[in-house]
Structure 1
Amino acid sequence: MQRVTISLDDDLATSFDAIVAARSYASRSEAVRDLVRQLVDSERLGAGRGGMCVASLSYVYDHRTRALAQRLLDLQHDHHELVAATTHVILDHESSLETVMLRGPAAAVEAFADQVIAERGVRFGAVNLIGVEANDKHAEPAPHHHHGHAHVSPYPG
């Protein structure tokens, strides 16, 4: 492990310490490590560098918008290779929340998320990508078949 020393002005350190406490980090170092992991992962996935990811896409939509629910379902079927699971929660008489769990090439996942969020009637959309790599190594002692699926693991950090 390497040690990195940084200097912060008093106001920034006080604000950072409040965040560390509010999020129940054990130390400033744990909080900084999380920030660095997020930045490294974001750079790895961004700017056309590609890579595989898992992701959650959450959005609120107005189910009264004409044919929107069907368009959203059609988009998920059109990209079935990316969609792992979907949850649907009715919020009130007009609004529903959906969360779509995704996996695949980061560029394709981001393009799908952008397309969903851009649909008329969709509000408050956000996607969270986590970079992963193929990993078929595991401690399972008996030989077995993966039946068409691949194992992925988050990047170490």
Structure 2
Amino acid sequence: MERFTISLDESLARQFDELIKNRGYLNRSEAVRDMLREQLETRRIRSAEAPYCIASLSYVYNHHERDLAARLTSQQHAQHQLNLSTMHVHLNHDDCLETVILRGPTAEVRAFSDSIIAERGVRHGQLNLIPVSLDVEEHDHGVHSHLHSHPNT
């Protein structure tokens, strides 16, 4: 573990302490570590240093919109190699929320997500990307191999 010291003016220190209290951190160190990880992941994703990711894509749509549900399902089937799971929630008589868990090449995950969010009738689309390393591993418990995702640190 490496230690370093930072200096903050009183106002910024007070605001930081309020932020970490509201988020449930036990101390400043935990909060700073998480903030650094978040910034490093964001930089990796933006600079294409994260070739693979796991992601959650969430969006709201009106299921009465002409053929929208069928178009969304068709897009998911067309990119089935990226889709791990989809959760569908009925919000009211008209609107649905879907969250799709994705894994694969970051550029492909982003392109797929952009195409879903751009569909006419989709609202409130949000993509959350997490950089990972992907490894195909053989195990003694079977004759098959499978993919392991390791979040980058």
Regarding TM over 0.5, the answer is yes
| TM-score, L = length of structure 1 | 0.88
Identify the range of structure 1 (93-102 vs 143-152) with the bigger mean alpha-carbon deviation: 143-152
Q: Which structure 2 residue ranges, 5 or more long, are not aligned?
A: none
Whole-angstrom CA distance in 1 between matches of 2:136 and 2:81: 20
Instruction: Give the Å deviation of 1:129.
Output: 0.9
Whole-angstrom CA distance in 1 between matches of 2:137 and 2:65: 47
CA gap of 1:50–1:154, structure 2 versus 1, over 3 A, is: closer
Q: Superposed, which structure 2 residues align to 1:92-131 within 5 Å?
A: 92-131=92-131
| Partner in structure 2 of residue 150 of structure 1 | 147
Equivalent residue letter for 1:154: P
Note the alpha carbon deviations across 1:53-89, whole angstroms, 9 max, x for none. 1111111111111111111101101110100000000
C-alpha RMSD of the superposition: 1.9
Whole-angstrom CA distance in 2 between matches of 1:11 and 1:149: 51
| Partner in structure 1 of residue 88 of structure 2 | 88
Instruction: Give the Å deviation of 1:39.
Output: 1.1
| Partner in structure 2 of residue 7 of structure 1 | 7
Q: Do 2:136 and 2:145's aligned partners in 1 also have CA atoms closer than 8 Å?
A: no
State how many pairs are aligned.
153
Equivalent residue letter for 1:119: E
Higher strand share goes to which structure? 2
| TM-score, L = length of structure 2 | 0.90
